[in-house]
A and B are shown apart, each in its own frame.
Chain A
């Protein structure tokens, strides 16, 4: 049970991302993608369980592994870390691509771009 606050926040972010994804402005589409990947990352972390943060609760072992601190699931953390970096690569590429599209076609309207093909 993670709680309704987290679910509502993730749901709202997904909805906002989708709304942006459907815009005709290509830059806004990229924003939509970025928001959705942020929301997905938060969701992934939430699936592993969220432990409230204190000074002790970092995924770092004190001695020789006798005591495993209570944190968000470290495996999920590793996965999300990978996802954040890949999401960055995607956003950067999408942005430069939109920029190139604008250079090439002099428009950022996806509907117009779809029709011109």
Chain B
């Protein structure tokens, strides 16, 4: 069954439309706007659900001749991700009103959340590389707005900037990768498929062979990996994610655990069939397992519950990336299934963290304990989702982690990858041990003695409890009957991401396998090591204190501070407030670039230099240049003005000699007016202005540079012009009488063919006249001028307007 265009477009567009209407909705409903968001999310979810089971591309034609279209691609993987975003979005919107109660700036908050949800559905369904990239960057933008929600808080602004810099910067790498991909696709699959991701995925082998033949396989793989890695917080660019916890908790649960950070993982899964290979295995398995282990260790070192969950999120993202990195079908199963499982338990855990922070007033792990007395329902929820995160059987996290172990074992058995074949399973187990540790630590917040220092803990309102409870319930359902989830959606997601999909079966193991042994070791060592959690925690924390460069944050700060310092110095040098400096830098840069461009293009070739102007023109130009020299060396203002007029009138004569009488007429009128205005102004200012001359030599050098550039440009550009008039000019000449009704080509062009240009020109003159009038009236308010001069100035400007008209009418 092929998807229905209207339904798909409605599902993507609805959140954006409501986001635009948020200010109106908020005015009516106030803090209840969140529930409107829930309705929107559920509607989108429902629209997507109607497409369940369909697969294919639908598109809205835009420019058919260029094959530009807004295309959407629907399959199991896209639907899984899009519906996950809408489903969790609905819960987050329901959770927000109670959590954000009494905050200001809620319009911005809800609008950004809704726009974000639309973008994430867009990323999931985009079948076009351009659309995908746009939606991808939109999610980064929404994330920036939401992380920086507390605008008065410096640390949240810092975190927002960091997230923006890293994810959008990574997005640029992705863009280059996508463009390379489209170049190859338009070669191999025809120009129609240049940006069509769906078409590329239909012939993955052809694409991979073509990429390899052109030597672009590794560059494309690397660029896409950087894009996906920054978005999905992979080491070493993971550090923005823990900082992003400055956002309100519902945002962290939605964007920074369940959806936005999974866009990278989603994309890796999307292009997996096209790029899967040995290099793919090395790159993504190594990247993913490193992230998984490093971030799990960092999570153990955390002191704040949201920080713990953030590092844990990065760690689980690493698990998914590693899953997709393994080339076997188990790898794809890991990625798809864990994407679902992680969204269920991690979003719930964030919402639990939000409840704790909201009701207990602190997020410090050391200050929290024995919360089950105050928060019994939350405690039950946490037991399910924390054990799921730890991967303890029979909770749902166990099944997908088991699949990762299977994939790692399969890779070491069936691929000749040497030492890595041992290292991959070992690292997977090692990292998972830390996962068990921090999961138990989070769970322990609810058990043990209730500390005295902890003040009164409020009962959370029901709207805070229902969303995590729904997620925990779903997690429990998947735990009890994982095959249900597999049949419902995971299988179809697998078919889109695996190279050789087969019927997927998940359940509690009934016989021994290496993977089961690895799970047993993980859980066993985790439980044994848990009593020494405090010592581990302190030991890990002491490392960055002694060696700061080991922290990714340190690199970021150093780089950004260094760059801003450089930027400030540069700006102060170039923009120091004096006109001379601006002119010097601009002109030098322009001339250097222009000359370099001519040299690079090989335009400066020794051609024969003709003297193709008549003696009369040469003489007129000579007088004009002499006039210019006289202006430059004039001692008094009056001498300068008069010599400037000589230059202007010479140019007018040049126009006559160059067969452009209309220009000559205009120039004569304008020149006369300028002379009059100059004389009027000069009357009011000192006759000569003494300025010390100290930098003449430097100015002369710059002037010669500009003059030389102009000289070369004139030679180069006028030398290569086509013979005779341009095509447009010929067309104008032919059409002047039949269509313009006038014999003077220039005037018909001005008032008829290019009438709007002339209109714009008149607007400029009118604006100048109004500005001049304003300046003079302002002066008059000071009361030190008479009105007679205003009249003169105004007359000058009025005649300026008529002069241009006069020129046109000639």
Contact = CB atoms under 8 A, between A and B. Distances in A.
B775 A96 contact: yes
Interface in B271-303: none
A92 B662 contact: no
B765 A65 contact: no
Given A22-B702, A96-B776, A86 B761 contact: yes
B673 interface: yes
Q: Chain B's interface: helix, strand, loop or mixed, by majority?
A: helix
B674 A13 contact: no
Interface string A19-52: 1111111011101001100110111011111111
A85 B804 contact: yes
B542 interface: no
B108 to A, nearest CB: 35
A99 B685 contact: yes
B625 interface: yes
Contact of A5 (B621, B695, B769): B621
Interface in A93-110: 93, 95-100, 102-103, 108-110
A92 B750 CA distance: 23
A89 B800 contact: yes
Contacts of B761: 82, 85-86
Nearest to A76: B729
A16 B657 contact: no
A74 B651 contact: no
A15 B712 CA distance: 13
Interface string A39-74: 101110111111111100111111011001001111
A13 B628 contact: yes
Interface string B613-654: 110011001101100110110000100100010011001001
Given A38-B648, A95-B678, A22 B703 contact: yes
A117 to B, nearest CB: 6
A10 B647 CA distance: 12
A3 B612 contact: yes
Interface residues of B, number: 119
A113 B730 CA distance: 51
B660 A85 contact: no
Contacts of B726: 48, 73, 75
B602 interface: no
B795 interface: no
Contact of A14 (B579, B670, B673, B707): B707
Contact of A74 (B617, B704, B725): B725
A16 B647 CA distance: 12
Contacts of B655: 45
B797 interface: yes
6 contacts: A9-B621, A13-B628, A72-B658, A76-B729, A92-B768, A109-B691
Given A5-B621, A11-B708, A46-B718, 14 more contacts: A1-B612, A3-B613, A4-B609, A6-B617, A7-B718, A16-B707, A22-B583, A22-B695, A47-B718, A59-B745, A77-B660, A89-B765, A100-B779, A103-B779
Question: 7 closest Cβ contacts across the A-B interface?
Answer: A15-B707, A11-B711, A89-B768, A14-B710, A3-B612, A114-B578, A2-B718
